[in-house]
Amino acid sequence: MSTAALEVADLRKTYDNGVEALKGISLSVAQGDFFALLGPNGAGKSTLIGSICTLVTPSSGSIRIFGHDLAREREAALGCVGVVPQELNFNQFERPFDIIVNQAGFYGIARAEAKVRAEKYLRQLSLWDKAFTISRTLSGGMKRRLMIARAIVHEPRLLILDEPTAGVDIEIRRSMWQFVSEINRAGTTVVLTTHYLEEAEQLCRNIAIVDKGLIVENTSMRTLLSQLDRETFVLDLAAPCQQIPDSVGVHLRRLDENTLEVDVPKGTALNQLFADLSAGGIQVRSLRNKSNRLEELFLNLVERSQGAAA
Ligand code: ADP
């Protein structure tokens, strides 16, 4: 099995004010993956990302990046990561070209090579015509793209984007996703935090949902979506049922002799189900919708993050 791009084991962080931001986070991101880290405001996402890029010192636990332990092989580990933080944190009085070249310098890239790369990535992010303009005058979207160019100048194998499209208009968002998808296709592992479900859904192959410092779900996007597309009903029967008749075409589970459970695609009319059950000698007395745990989770997350943003 190949080494994971990112491996977090039992990571905990308690801030000085006593806030337990991370309560034992473990996750693994495979090489080449496009991974979403989703959760409401205050869930612990930034603390987790801060720990990966060493801005936050965890209280305990470990982080490995392409097999390098962050605590023991810090330089090797950090050399594999590029981070696009939430806040614009470059010197707005410098020119994009210089920002990129200087960043390359932090990673020990020779100046001549740094200049070649600065041009290459500024071109790729459609910023070359602004390369020698004072950054402060760039539009919001351009500044975001500059942050991406800066994060990839050392050609990291893992790119982490922390809410990079928060407050960015849809056009810019799309062009950013296109670029990030391309570099992912070319082999870079991408981890993205977002609270736009749609964004995670369209881009990411795997997902972890963080809430109150814990991972509450960690699965593939496909599995998650397939669960969200279905709903489950619990059927109370008028008389005990020993066996589910074969004639019933839908997926039924017998919870006990008086109770069945059925999964159906969302929005399905249930008349046919009742007719089939009735034909098989089963009478339903009452039915209730068993709320989908994942959907509930999603709704909660979104409502809470919207509430917090309002
Ligand atoms: P998210 O990125 O998911 O919004 P954060 O990691 O920023 O979540 O925050 C997790 C929890 O830790 C929150 O309760 C937040 O108030 C708290 N927190 C974050 N940074 C600090 C800090 N520097 N000092 C104290 N508490 C913090």
pLDDT digits (tens, 9 = 90+) for 9-19: 999 999 999 99
With a Cβ cut-off of 6 Å, ligand 1 is lined by 15, 17, 19, 21, 39, 41-47
139 Cα–ligand 1 center, Å? 29
Dihedral angle computed from the Cα positions of residues 17, 87, 98 and 152, in that order, rounded to the nearest 10 degrees: 90
Q: Which residues of 242-264 are buried (b: 16+ CB within 10 A; e: fewer)?
A: eebeeebeeebeeeeeeebebbb
The domain 4-225 having CATH identifier 3.40.50.300: the answer here is: yes
pLDDT at 302: 57
Does residue 310 register a pLDDT over 50?
no
Percent of the chain residues topping a pLDDT of 70: 91
Q: What is the largest CA-CA distance in the chain?
A: 82
Domain map (residue ranges) of the chain: 4-225, 228-294
Q: How far is CA 60 from CA 2, 48, 49, 56, 272, in A?
A: 26, 12, 15, 12, 55
Alpha-carbon gap, residue 249 to 240, rounded angstroms: 20
* Interval between CA 39 and ligand 1 midpoint (Å): 12
pLDDT, tens digit (0-9, with 9 covering 90-100), for 52-88: 999 999 999 999 999 999 999 999 999 999 999 888 8
Using most ligand atoms within 8 A of CB, pick from 13, 17, 46 the residue to mutate for ligand 1. 46
Of 182, 150, 169, whose CA–CA distance to 34 is shortest?
182
Q: Is there a contact between 206 and 29 (Cβ–Cβ < 8 Å)? A: yes
DSSP 29: E
Instruction: Give the mean model confidence (pLDDT) for residues 99-120.
Output: 96
Domain 228-294 belongs to what topology? Alpha-Beta Plaits (3.30.70)
**Ligand 1 atom at minimal distance to the Cα of residue 41:** 4
| Whether the model pTM is above 0.85 | no
